[in-house]
Amino acid sequence: MQVVNTIEALRLARRALLGRVGAVYTMGALHAGHIGLVNAARAENDSVLTTIFINPLQFKANEDFTRYPRDLDRDLAMFEAAGVDLVFTPTPELMYAPDFQTSVRVSRVSRGLEGKARPGHFRGVATVVAKLFNLTQPDITYFGQKDAQQVVVIRQMARDLNFPLEIVVMPTAREENNLAMSSRNAYLSPEQRHAAGIVPHAIKAAALEYEKGERRPIRLIAAVREVLAREPVARVDYVAINNPRDLRPIRKATEAPLLLSLAVQVGTPRLLDNALLPYALNNRADLTRLLGGSE
């Protein structure tokens, strides 16, 4: 496995990669969710490229950029064990020169949900991913369902700017209590981690209502909120139902697939989770069809 941290070394090493290249982009502090993406890339491509970069542009001033967990040696060992060929680990100074002045703004799909909760976040995400796509030139990229809006924003950008690549969406990897894995789960105390189990539980409650025939978004959202209300330390930020393709809010009962998303604060940490309804759609093929795809 080759590890590079300059643009020149990356370009040289990228040119030397053979055949079809699969890529996974991360902020490090790796967990089984990240490695699941790498395993898929490894199984399906001649070469696997990954990046580790905590992108300052996507954090607001009061967010956790400086506290975000960092452990490069452990991350590299995990990538090596998973069979990665090339890792790019740039510094913020390398990615953003002092006179940096370009950004990528994906308008409509960035507006709601996390975009509303974190103004400017998706502009930071789209800008860094455009740079990483240009730098790494992948044939196929692997993203996680965990950040469903992020992948919709990136797909829109890839289409609008003609990046010649495919976007695969892998189902959310979960802890034993079904909590969605996240590098930020490291911030949870044992009690908060236990309380956080309410989030997947609430999603399951809505999935069950859906299965029983409920199609009214307002009722499905109420089912989620009812379960969350049982956990006193959980503070709901939003529970929303959107069209998974364009993220428009859905208000009327429909048989079309729904994206149920929620953000819940448990103590300081903010937890995100989502699911497609009907629940059987939460598999790689359907997730990729609805949230991912190609140009």
The footprint of ligand AMP (CB under 6 A) covers 26-27, 33-34, 36-37, 143-144, 146-147, 170, 172-173, 180-183
Q: Check if the beta carbon of residue 104 is closer than 8 Å to that of residue 126.
A: yes
CB of 19 to ligand AMP, least distance (A): 23
Q: Which residue number, 170 or 240, has a Cβ lying nearer to ligand AMP?
A: 170
Q: Which residue number, 167 or 223, has a Cβ lying nearer to ligand AMP?
A: 167
CB of 168 to ligand AMP, least distance (A): 10
Q: How far apart are CA 217 and CA 277, in angstroms?
A: 11
Find all residues with CB under 8 Å of 121, minimum gap 6, and list them.
58, 59, 60, 114, 115
Q: Check if the beta carbon of residue 239 is closer than 8 Å to that of residue 169.
A: no
Q: Which residue number, 31 or 225, has a Cβ lying nearer to ligand AMP?
A: 31
∠245-247-251 over CA atoms, to 5°?
110
First to last CA, the chain: 30
Q: Which residue number, 51 or 209, has a Cβ lying nearer to ligand AMP?
A: 51
Selected catalytic residue, list 34, 121, 194, 201: 34
CA–CA distances in Å: residue 45 to residues 10, 19, 35, 140: 19, 8, 15, 9
Find all residues with CB under 8 Å of 270, minimum gap 6, and list them.
184, 237, 263, 264
CB of 32 to ligand AMP, least distance (A): 8
CB of 125 to ligand AMP, least distance (A): 9
Helix (H) or strand (E) holding 103: none
∠136-142-143 over CA atoms, to 5°?
110
Q: Which residue number, 34 or 121, has a Cβ lying nearer to ligand AMP?
A: 34
Q: How far apart are CA 41 and CA 43, in angstroms?
A: 6
CB of 106 to ligand AMP, least distance (A): 16
Question: Can 34 be counted among the known catalytic residues?
Answer: yes
Question: What is the number of the residue whose Cβ is closest to ligand AMP?
Answer: 144
- Residues with active-site annotation: 34
